Amino acid sequence: MQVIILGSGSPLPDPQRAGPATLVRTSAGDLLFDCGRGVLMRAAAVGSGAGAFRALFLTHLHSDHITDLNDIYTMRWAMSFQPNPLPLFGPPGTATLLKATEAMLEPDIGYRLAHHGDLQWRPSAEVSEVERGVIFDEGTVRITVGPTDHAPVRPTVGYRIDDGKKSVVIAGDTVPCAGLDELCRGADVLVHTVVRRDLIEQFGLPRLTDVLDYHSSVPNAAQTAARNGVGLLLLTHLVPTPAPGTEQEWLDQARVHFDGTVVLATDLLTLGVGDSTP
């Protein structure tokens, strides 16, 4: 079981960090969590892609987490040689999002059907809107979803992936909450989006300081990991982007509250679940 950070960035474009996306490699295949900008470029770098995803899971419908849904939907269709529906899981509203995405792509769908004689079916997805409970159970892999708190974005969810005795939790954007605690208990790895409150407050701009009330700070994420006996905390969706040479500051803030291993995400960072270091 592996965790691969395909995108460690945030809504702010960064040449070194693609949008939020995490690939979890399991015995059931490649599972993609969120699909921010550049996800298929990063997936190609690790030998995966739209046609290879066993399923796509959305934590919420904020634009930075779903930017490249259209790219996955199109490429899975256009590069498959038989119908290959995309299994898509997400909170309520996901079906409406997919319908709107397909409407936006309608001209392109028409162009490709008209041009490629062997492409005789439309793109499709199998959409499951989820909020709580076991949603995937295949072989040794079980995925559980639970509610998180990113209000006023509602609903939002996190996911726990268990593959045999190994486990990974994808928190998504959230403040500390009971739903996330339930998912995290005893997990090997917690992939958690974080912001630096101390840096954002220095900017003093309402558009930036507004994010503080619905994201976890680095200490918040560390406290969640400690409270639930997590083995390794992987910090991602880093706001603001760490300036070169300041990475240790992020780790130090977490280690005040969490005695386990802390890792700061970079794009294409690969972590074997159960390993102490990437």
Q: Which residues are catalytic?
A: 64
Tell me which residue of 129, 111, 141 sits closest to 61, measured CA to CA. 129
Reduce the DSSP state of residue 59 to 3 states and report it.
coil
Cα 217 to Cα 204: distance, rounded to the nearest angstrom: 17
Angle, vertex CA 35, rays to CA 89 and CA 19, nearest 5: 150
Q: Is residue 67 within 8 Å of residue 36, measured between CB atoms?
A: yes
Q: What is the DSSP letter of 173?
A: S
Cα 88 to Cα 57: distance, rounded to the nearest angstrom: 6
Q: Is residue 145 within 8 Å of residue 89, measured between CB atoms?
A: yes
